[in-house]
Amino acid sequence: MFAALGDETRLALVAKLCGGESRSISQLTEGSKLTRQAVTKHLHVLERVGIVRCVQAGRERLFEFKPESVEEMKQYLEFVSAKWDEALGRLRSFVEE
């Protein structure tokens, strides 16, 4: 997931979608130096790792940001981090006593 966000173009796409509105490929291509094909390719990478989702709206495919993907990773890290705090607290008591 972080590898997918490591690319500046993809990060810029996520930034455009972060506001919550769904956007079409044309809208996302607009104003960028990239071709429609390149944008589509990047969107698929983001879709595969679960950062964005694609929804069909009539004849158009729209892409939207999945905030829960980032939130979930954050929660997981907070969980493991809290476990380390507990373990290091026990280590402290153990070596300082």
Partner 1 sequence: MAKDRIEKRIELRAPVARVWRALTDYREFGEWFRVKLEGPFVAGEVAKGNITWPGYEHLVWEAVIEKIEPERLFSFTWHPYATDAKVDYSTETPTLVEFRLEAIEGGTLLMLTESGFDKVPANRREEAFLRNDGGWTQQMKNIETHVAQG
Residues that bind partner 1 (CB under 8 A): 1-3, 5, 50, 70-88, 90-96
CB of 58 to partner 1, least distance (A): 30
Measured between alpha carbons, how far is 12 from 32 in angstroms, rounded to an integer?
Answer: 10
**Residue with Cβ nearer partner 1 (24 or 75):** 75
Starting from the edge strand earliest in sequence, which strands make up the sheet with 60-65, in order?
23-24, 60-65, 52-57
CB of 10 to partner 1, least distance (A): 12
**Residue with Cβ nearer partner 1 (21 or 84):** 84
Measured between alpha carbons, how far is 61 from 71 in angstroms, rounded to an integer?
Answer: 25
**Residue with Cβ nearer partner 1 (36 or 88):** 88
CB of 5 to partner 1, least distance (A): 7
| Encoded tokens for 55 | 């929804």
Quickly tell me which residue has 């373990």 as its tokens: 87
